[in-house]
Amino acid sequence: MPAKKYDSSIADDDARPLTVVTEVRREEVLLKAGVLQSAIFNSANFSSIATDAKGVIQIFNVGAERMLGYAAAEVVNKLTPAGISDPVEIIVRAKALSQELGTTIAPGFEALVFKASHEIEDIYELTYIRKDGSRLPAVVSVTALRDDHDAIIGYLLIGTDNTARKRVEAEQQKLDQRLRDYQFYTRSLIESHMDALVLTDPLGTITDANKQMEALTGCTHDELIGAQFRDYFTDPERAQAAVKLVLREKRITDYELTAHNRNGKTTNVSYNATTFYNRDRVLQGVFAAARDVTERQLIQQALQKTNVELQRAKLVAEKANLAKSDFLSSMSHELRSPLNAILGFAQLMESASPSPTDSQKESIAQILQAGWHLLNLINEILDLAVIEAGRVLLSTEPVSLADVMAECQAMLEPEAQQRGISMTFPCFDDPIFVSADRTRLKQVVINLLSNAIKYNKQSGTVVVAYDTRTTGRTRISIADTGMGLTAEKLAQLYQPFNRLGQESVAGVAGTGIGLVVTKRLVELMGGELGVESTVGTGSVFWFELVSSAALQLEAEMSEAAARDKTPMPIGMPVHTLLYVEDNQANMRLVEQIIARRPDLRLLTAINGLLGIELARKEQPTVILMDINLPGISGVAAMEILREDPATAHIPVVALSANANPRDIEIGLAKGFFRYLTKPIKIKEFTDTLSAALKFREAKLR
């Protein structure tokens, strides 16, 4: 039977010889490895660079071309990986490996593969330089390629793009640095603070503290952390209560505690605290600042002591000043009486018959001149004393500026003409009223006009003007053409008895008090006094007062007031009303009211002394008395009338702008029948007059 031939195409592995099967499997493995290697070398996500043993590039895959921008033909058999790497990094790597491995490694390709050549796993960061010069951070894994005899035939460098991770690392480094900077800044703020700062948890356990707290307690930072806040104060319960209080109230300030250090030294502190939370608004504890207030308390105690001493000194000075003012005020009679005799007898001697000789006339003239000057000085000193003693009684009411100016012009025109001074006063086309005491306003204008005349140049001018442009106020100005005042003299203008060097000027008498009194009177009336002056040109003194409307009759008329308009029945007696008032506007107002009362006849007097004289002579049925009058006051005039049997029975009704309840109470206690206040209320006024008339009739029965 012929032998059977072997058919390898149809035989299975079991039928094949062992050598044939092994060879087939080896080819399959190699085929798979080749496919895998091809996939790796052609991957676009990795740069695969294979070199020969000397480092010259033999394979440059698609990933390397994409990542580095070179075509394979541009580098294969031409460059080493060191030629496309950052040279500075290679130098640094060579030095680091030399130190690490204890051998000299040259910078270049050797530094990139040294570990791999010695069978040491090597994965490192490297910066490739692209063809266009840009930089590519990469993570490179190096493997030595060996033949069957374990000889190195080349190297494989597989790189991945490290740009994203580098960017993340860079951002993280920035964040870390920013956090470190913020922590350093925050800590610097805490440590540089002048107060002892401390953080505690909600139970009062210290979690952080600054250097000032260490100094306050004498403990180190480590000793403070974990200790109880209350343990560093002389009153631990009060300190613990402070922690609880801030937890409840969220904030406390100026909570006084006394801290003590480990040596027993105590420090008074002001404790200020607030709660603090994390980003989720969960309570973390208490942030407190304790400020050393020992020195401040000592200063406060010293200040309080000084204030007490100053207050005592002030009271003593005020008492002395009041005593001086009271003395001067009470000395009015004692000072005027001898002066009255001096001036009286001097005038008698001047007009005696036979006439005195020329030398006697000259002596008498000197006595009279000195006497009148002394009287003026006494008047001004007493006026100032009354103001300083707080005894000035002001009757503030609407005052006609035109009336006051007319009276002042009439009084001072002769003096101005005598000195060759021309005075110009404003024309009041419309009624202008200011809120003031009429007598005191007149005194202010006279004082300023007198100064403008006295301190003017020969044949100079004085111009009086007013301005109502300031809202709610009226300014009156008096300009002269004198020598003017320097800044130094302006600073001394309101010093009592300081005449600014004018005392040496012949023929210009003065006391240096008038302007001081004028300023204080203006201020008492709610106004302001000022001056503008130019040396060699002149000065403008001005004062402002609150503008006011003219007195008007009350619009609402009662039935009783309406009945007063009816004609007086035949045979009805006519009563006399004496009105003592220095304000013409007030006088005209009362005249209009009395015109409605046919049973009343009106008499008027412009001051207290004239009122007393008319009362004694005319025997009026009722007297209407203003309180603030030139000369003697309305109260003094009323007291004189009550003490005189000829006028004691006449009811005196007060009519004043002093509407304070205390003023009314005092006025009634002094003996006024009634006390009416301005502005006048028609019904109240007429009812009061009727009551006074009935009272007088009852007295006559």
Tokens describing residue 200: 């505690």
* Alpha-carbon dihedral 674, 680, 681, 682, rounded to 10 degrees: 90
Average pLDDT of span 239-253: 89
pLDDT at 643: 92
On the question of a cis peptide bond just before residue 496, with omega within 30 degrees of 0, the verdict is: no
Average pLDDT over residues 313-341: 65
Tell me what the pLDDT averaged over the chain comes to. 82
Going by pLDDT thresholds of 50, 70 and 90, the confidence category of residue 81 is very high
pLDDT (tens digit, 9 = 90+) per residue, 195-207? 888 889 999 899 9
User: What is the per-residue pLDDT across 366-405, written as a single tens digit (0 to 9) for each?
Assistant: 887 777 767 766 766 666 666 766 667 677 788 889 888 9
What pLDDT digit, counting tens, does each position of 429-487 carry? 888 899 888 888 988 999 899 889 988 888 899 999 999 877 789 999 999 998 888 88
CA atoms 493, 494, 500, 505: torsion sign: positive
Per-residue HEC secondary structure of 504-521 comes to HCCCCCCCCCHHHHHHHH
* pLDDT at position 417 over 60: yes
> Cα(134)–Cα(568) distance, rounded to whole angstroms?
123
Average pLDDT over residues 45-57: 90
Comparing 192 with 171, which gets the higher pLDDT? Answer: 171
Helix axes 109-117, 87-101, angle to 10 degrees: 40
DSSP secondary structure code for residue 657 in this structure: S
Q: How far apart are CA 216 and CA 225, in angstroms?
A: 15
Peptide bond into 679 cis (omega under 30): yes
Q: What is the pLDDT at residue 70?
A: 94
Judge contact between 692 and 674, C-beta under 8 A: yes
Residues 6+ apart with CB under 8 A from 283: 202, 247, 275, 277
DSSP codes of every residue in 94-118 = HHHHHHHHTS---TTHHHHHHHHHT
Task: Identify the sign of the CA torsion 147, 150, 153, 158.
Answer: positive
Dihedral sign from CA coordinates of 499, 503, 508, 509: positive
Among the listed ranges 139-153, 330-344, 549-563, 676-690, which one has the minimum average pLDDT value? Answer: 549-563
User: Which amino acid, residue 645?
Assistant: P
Enumerate domains of the chain plus CATH numbers.
42-161 (3.30.450.20), 193-292 (3.30.450.20), 299-388 (1.10.287.130), 396-548 (3.30.565.10), 559-700 (3.40.50.2300)
pLDDT band at 652 (very low <50, low <70, confident <90, very high): very high
Residues contacting residue 401 through CB under 8 Å, at least 6 positions apart: 428, 432, 433, 434, 466, 474, 476
Flag whether pLDDT at 565 surpasses 60: no
Q: How confident is the model at residue 557 (pLDDT cuts 50, 70, 90)?
A: very low
What is the spatial distance between Cα 505 and Cα 485, in angstroms, rounded to a whole number?
Answer: 15
Residue 500 confidence class, pLDDT cut points 50, 70, 90: low
Q: Higher model confidence: residue 574 or residue 564?
A: 574
**267-314, pLDDT tens digit by residue?**
888 888 999 898 888 998 899 888 887 777 777 778 888 888 888 887
Q: What's the pLDDT at 425? A: 93
pTM: 0.43
Residues found in the chain: 701
Do the Cβ atoms of 261 and 284 come closer than 8 Å? no
Whole-number Å distance between alpha carbons of 391 and 387: 6
